[in-house]
Amino acid sequence: MRRTLTPDLCVIGGGSGGLTTAAAAAAFGVDVVLVEAGKMGGDCLNDGCVPSKALLAAGKHAAAIRESAQFGITAGEPQIDFAAVKDHVAGVIAAIAPNDSVERFEKLGVTVVEAHASFIDADTVAAGGTIIKARRFVIAAGSSPRVPQIPGLAETPFFTNETIFDLRGRPDHLIIIGGGPIGIEMAQAHRRLGCAVTVLEAGAFLGRDDPQLVAVVLAKLRAEGVALREGAKVVAVSTGQAGLTLTIETASGRETVPGSHLLVAVGRRPNVGGLGLDAAGIDFDAAGITVGADLRTTNRRVYAVGDVAGGPQFTHVASYQAGLVLRPILFRLPLKERRDHLPRVTFTDPELGQVGATEAEARAAGTLKDVLIWPYAENDRAQAERRLEGLVKIVVGRKGRIIGAGVAGVSAGEITNLMSLVVAKRMTVADLRDFISPYPTLSEIGKRAATDYYRPYTQKPWVRAAVRLLARFG
């Protein structure tokens, strides 16, 4: 027999966006049903952010051993137990999993239905043996790895971010299709853990980011031995006794690239299939569910957040949007999403962070007034840690307002935190100049860049004349 639930709010998806929505609503005493067919925690916990950062951390320790001689410490080549590294990754997931578990959310007062959700009409969802008729719905169904249509790929064993962390044996030669954040992060992690790595990218590596900042990251990967092939379109894949072979097409013609393992990392597609969106009157396409600036779908009862809503595919964006939709759902407050202050970080070493407009974006929009750059090499903390590669790049608009910032270098993600606040609060160069940064820290780099904005004024004749005049008064 089917049971029928009539909650105030039904959340579809137990990833970052869905869990944030459900937990916050339940904290206010709202009757919430959460529907999740897979693992609680979604991609971020199980297949994305958490395992990838754990693997990168292991690689960073191996790199630190190799680089220790510059500090007067000799340890030799690290001995890597690849299976033990994967145990470390699994342990990190296990440590975090209770925070996202069914048990925890049930204790919060959320009714969890472990089944696939599908709309059967505008205000009703079927999930296994449960019918859910709610006042409001939030779809947070996430996304899945996109698999390109390449001849031979379907017949070839390959990994995605959802399966690569289950690999217990170290690959001899990992070939990665895709030079975005996932591909580049996994390339460096596996190279540092002793694998030969080749990355094939049909366009430009990390193409959404500022090329000047990207160059810092790519230089490090090349120095560590990662083979980076830009402008290399994969046109065929085959397997044989010796392993697998990819045929690529470049400006010079066709050639083959042999390897032992293959990771496909060419982006993600929103999980819009199987949700019964047509039955609910919800518009969608291959890019995701259609939403307005209020994150509402074409069905006024239904909101969509996170990857499935077709916007930036980041865990923190899903959480941000989840917080936004609670305003109209709980308090009848208006909602208009901002995207001009959303940060992103690629967690390579050195890291690459960006918030707001890049130089190219601001120039194209006609809002660029100045660009401020300060190198890591001019920072005392960077000198002490011998991490001199990198820079901070601040994009300045009208009236000195900071409309964007990019950072490439060690701990760039942490510096991006500061820059995110600056951009979100529409601060000016003067605000960043006047903030007091503890010495010696890497965040001083941003402050120095802001201070340098005023250097030209020191050379202006009228400013110098004013200083001389004022000096006469004692």
Q: Answer yes or no: is 273 a known binding residue.
A: no
Those residues whose C-beta lies under 8 Å from the C-beta of residue 430, and which sit 6 or more positions away, are: 400, 450
Helix (H, G, I), strand (E, B) or coil at 37: coil
Q: Cβ distance 58 to 91 under 8 Å? A: no
User: Which phi and psi (to 5°) does residue 179 adopt?
Assistant: -110, 35
Element (H, E) at 394: strand 391-396
The reply to whether 180 sits in an annotated binding site is: yes
Cα separation, 9 vs 134, in Å, equals 6
Coil vs helix vs strand at 173: strand
What is the three-class DSSP state of 269? strand
- Angle 307-308-311 from CA coordinates, rounded to 5°: 50
Measured CA angle at 160 (ends 203, 18), to 5 deg: 100
- Helix, strand or coil for residue 319? helix
C-alpha atoms less than 13 angstroms from C-alpha of 213 in its C-beta half-sphere: 31
**53 among annotated binding-site residues:** yes
Whether the CB-CB separation of 402 and 423 falls below 8 Å is answered with yes
244 conformational bin, left if phi > 0, alpha if psi -120 to 50, beta if neither = beta
Which residue type sits at 473? F
Q: Is 59 annotated as a binding residue?
A: no
Residues 6+ apart with CB under 8 A from 356: 340, 341, 395, 402, 403, 404, 405, 419, 423
What sign does the dihedral 468-470-473-474 (CA atoms) show? negative
Assign 119 to helix, strand or coil: strand
Residue 178 annotated as binding site:
yes
3-state helix, strand, coil in the chain (%, to 5): 35, 25, 40
Nearest to 193 by CA among 84, 302, 279, 321: 84
Residue 307 in marked binding region: yes
Is 409 annotated for ligand binding? Answer: no
Cis bond leading into 461, ω under 30°? Answer: no
> Is 201 annotated as contributing to ligand binding?
yes
Distance from C-alpha of 317 to C-alpha of 386, rounded to nearest angstrom: 33
Residue positions in the annotated binding site? 53, 178-185, 201, 267, 307
Q: What residues are designated binding site for NAD(+)?
A: 178-185, 201, 267
As annotated, the binding site for FAD includes 53, 307
